Structure 1
């Protein structure tokens, strides 16, 4: 196995972080500095130097209530990235770490699970590859919860935007829960229930591009608003729109 994969699988860091550690000489294999791309055997003794742990302790994770109009990652099509909201002025005053200033540098922050430009809600921005892997890694078991306001375009051409739950066929709700596919690939089972007559609650364990909107389109629903309220054990809570807080050291997704 490659050393960087071993370190990531053991949840010491992400593969990208492992490569940085190896490049800086912070990882030893049998007492000798590791090499980039090195493969290891089961019996090899791996040592991580204190400098790696010290560097990792400085990495921050931020919970942001993303508004509509901001992209999760890099700027695109003239739209600003959500990172521009990480200012002292937008730091939630009820954050237990409110006395700590906004990050001096935004280098290394990346979204752990994107939100569409026209969606709102919980966006996690992290420098910590372990947290990113835990949330969006291929073997992640963390679910995400969304509140989705919809209108129904019935087969007879009627557009229903109130008491949608009464008009929407039960068999189509069952298809949302399990039975749809995107781009020829079946979707994992989802929890989908009515939160109120015009709003569905989705709980997913995957995050395909514009997944909920595309799922709804297949059953005659049009999404008018979408808000992510939870990622694993981390909830949006009372965090105001456009504001952010630090992830506390005792919190995990």
Structure 2
């Protein structure tokens, strides 16, 4: 048996490359040990079989941004059932169109953004990328969200006009928004700067009770559709290169 060495050292020997390049190959998921991908350059190996993917290349791997279809009953940010726990390799959407290679490093230090009520479902964002964090926090009130709200009850006189413009919530005058009927028991909201409980409260001012809330879109980014339909609750995909909120 040979003496244990760092995986990066073995890769450097096999590829006749520098230690720094070898570490990048390992971190970027191009190297497997006895058939299992290992992303830790410091991993110790002896006589195991080391394979380097035929497509391996030196490249910078961007920090990941995850788009999750949060189910009802899951806490978006704070709470006993955090959404981040749903983001695993097993729940990766099979129809993810991003082309981003799945790496274990993508599941570390994910910051959940853009609150969504526990009893609501739909799109939420978790990211490692400071640029995305800044966009969705510093510009939060400028980014339009789209929601489908299932309702019951009878619309009060001028209720639609009230919701579109003229309400004040928690001492804050609400900006105008687009509210329209999708069918007889479902409303579509295109709205900016939504606060917790705001959609339920707005509907109540119009004489309506909220049955369910689903967020479809944040800015220009939606949950996504594939050949087998929309991304289902509990699944996630990557924000692909070039997609912007």
Structure 1 length as normaliser, TM-score?
Answer: 0.66
Deviations 1:215-248 (A, max 9, x none): 1122221110100001111112311111000111
Asked if 1:168 is matched to 2:172, the reply is no
Q: 1:103 and 1:130 mapped to 2: Cα distance?
A: 21
- Would the aligned equivalents of 2:88 and 2:107 in 1 still touch at CA under 8 Å? no
1:204 is matched with 191
Displacement of 1:126:
1.2
Structure 1 residues 239, 102: closer, same or farther in 2, change over 3 A? farther
Structure 2 length as normaliser, TM-score?
Answer: 0.68
2:207 is matched with 220
Structure 1 residues 247, 112: closer, same or farther in 2, change over 3 A? same
Structure 1 residues 197, 93: closer, same or farther in 2, change over 3 A? same
The Cα RMSD (Å) is: 2.1
Gaps of 5+ in 2: 1-58, 225-229
Displacement of 1:121:
0.5
Asked if 1:65 is matched to 2:57, the reply is no
Larger strand share, 1 or 2: 2
1:136 is matched with 137
- Would the aligned equivalents of 1:180 and 1:187 in 2 still touch at CA under 8 Å? yes
TM alignment of 1:142-153, pairs within 5 A: 142-152=143-153
Q: 1:108 and 1:207 mapped to 2: Cα distance?
A: 26
Question: Secondary structure of the equivalent of 1:179?
Answer: coil
Q: 2:232 and 2:140 mapped to 1: Cα distance?
A: 32
